Structures are given as C-alpha cells and as structure tokens.
Amino acid sequence: MTRLSVNINKVALIRNARGGNLPDLVKVAQDCESFGAQGITIHPRPDERHIRYSDVPALKAIVKTELNIEGNPTEDFMELVLRNRPHQCTLVPDSPDALTSDQGWDTVGQKAFLTDIISTLRGAGIRVSVFVDPVEHLVEGAKAVGADCIEFYTGHFARLFPDDPRLAVEPHARCARLANGIGLEINAGHDLNLDNLRYYKTQVEGLKEVSIGHALISDALYFGLQNTIRMYLNCLI
Ligand code: PXP
C-alpha cells in the first residue's frame, strides 16, 4: 500500500493572504483525513509564507494518521520538530529563499552533518526521511547516515514524463530496487499529479508514501477536496 500524505502548505498560503483564519488549516487537515488521506505534510519555511511555526502544535494535536514535517534542519527548525514530535520528519536542503525544493541532499558530502541531525531526531522517536535525487551513491549515502527512509525528488520525473515516461521513471525504479535491498523505506514527492502518479506508483517498487500539495490543492478547486483525494487514492491502488 502507498499512503497519500496531503501537503497543506497551499491552504495556508490562501489563509495568509487575508490575515484571518479562512480557510482553517486544522479543519482542512481533519477533512483530508476523513476523506481518506493517510497523512498530512507541512513544510514550514523560514519566512513563514505558508505554514507558520505557530500552526504546528494545533496540527500535531489533531492529526490522527501521520504528521510529516519537512524542511531544512536549521536550529529553529530542529527546535520546532523536537518540541512537536511529528511521526516523521523529512529533511530537505532548501535554501531560505527557495521558491520550492528543487533537489535532494548530497548525502555523501554532508555525511557528518546529516548523521548528527538524524541521530538527534531518531533519539526523540521521530522517523527520519531524507530527500534525495534518484542516484545510487546518494541512496547508499542516506543509509549510511542512519535515515529510516528516503524521499525521491520527483520534479525531474514530472518534467520528463509527458515526453518519455519510461526514461523519466528509470532512475527511480532502479534506485528503489537498491533502497528496498538495503532496508530503506521509499517516499516520493514533488510535482506528482493525476497524470503521472499511477505510472510512478506502478514502476517504483515498494513505494510507501507520496506527499502531494500543489497539484492536489489546485485540482480541488475543480473537483472539490473529497473527490480529489479519492481520485489521488485511486491512482495508488
Ligand atoms: N516533498 C518535498 C520535500 C517538498 O518540498 C514538496 C513541496 O513543498 C513536496 C514534496 C510536494 O510537492 P508538490 O507541492 O509539487 O506536490
């Protein structure tokens, strides 16, 4: 089974546009779960342009499935994660001014840093996922730094998919076999959508979780949140 974790950053972006509490993130997270999502992902960034640090305790209190907090493990981020203890923390090497994440970690070059961060998080009982590009030595590097899990960056896959799906997915399928063989769980995310998700799922053996925000929330404008979640879940059967 592949879990669907809904990234609700875009919902927070709409809320922040007016300064009030509409839409209400807590209600949206609860509704996503009641519509069948198996997780809620948030990615607080240093400028708090969507999720705010102050949103996290209320979300931690109500999420019944899996709360996944993503981000770059700065001092502030680590403090937030350790204080709120989500089920999973996904480490992402995004710069403070990044529009969105666009690459995974250099798990070999950053070995000492990641080993230290991961051991702190795991020591607090938090499962740790490391965002990586589908490249063999980086997957092996994620295992070496003590991650429980990797999240494949699927941005390049999504860009190439319309022209050549097989070429687009090949590194993911290959690196998934490697990850399965060395005992790393596999998540994936970025630019996954209703066109490419089913194919990705069928080709990437052992895919445990996808986290999807931008396309899913955009689709919800047309189909409604409940229908949209059902449609994404259907791609994961
Ligand atoms: N995974 C990571 C690490 C991300 O940074 C993001 C975007 O915040 C996603 C998944 C979800 O990407 P998208 O919004 O394109 O579905």
* Of 212, 219, 218, the residue nearest 192 (C-alpha): 212
Question: Which residues are CB-contacts of 131 (< 8 A; sequence separation ≥ 6)?
Answer: 70, 90, 91, 92, 93, 101, 104, 105, 150, 151, 153
Task: Check if 219 has its Cβ closer than 6 Å to any atom of ligand 1.
Answer: no
Residues 6+ apart with CB under 8 A from 9: 42, 43, 50, 51, 213
What integer pLDDT is reported at residue 102 of this predicted model?
86
Q: Where in the sequence is the domain holding 174, given as residue range(s)?
A: 3-235
Give percent of the chain with pLDDT exceeding 90: 96
- Three-state DSSP at 131 gives strand
Q: Which atom of ligand 1 is nearest to the CA of 190?
A: 12
Ligand 1 atom with minimal separation from the 9 CA: 8
pLDDT at 32 (0 to 100): 98
Q: What's the domain count of the chain?
A: 1
Binding site membership of 90 for ligand 1 (Cβ less than 6 Å): yes
Active site residue 190: yes
Is residue 126 predicted with pLDDT exceeding 80? yes
Catalytic one among 33, 50, 66, 70?
70
CA of 68 to the centre of ligand 1 (A): 12
Query: What pLDDT does residue 101 have?
Result: 79
Q: Is 214 in the pocket of ligand 1 (CB under 6 A)?
A: yes
In the block, residue with structure tokens 């080993």 = 115
How many alpha carbons lie under 13 Å from residue 21 in its C-beta half-sphere?
A: 7
Q: What is the pLDDT of residues 80-112, one digit of tens each?
A: 999 999 999 999 998 877 777 789 999 999 999
pTM listed for this prediction: 0.97
Which CATH number characterizes residue 177's domain?
A: 3.20.20.70
Dig out the tokens for 15 from the structure: 């809320």
Tens-place pLDDT, residues 139-157: 999 999 999 999 999 999 9
User: Ligand 1: does its nearest atom lie under 6 Å from the Cβ of 84?
Assistant: no
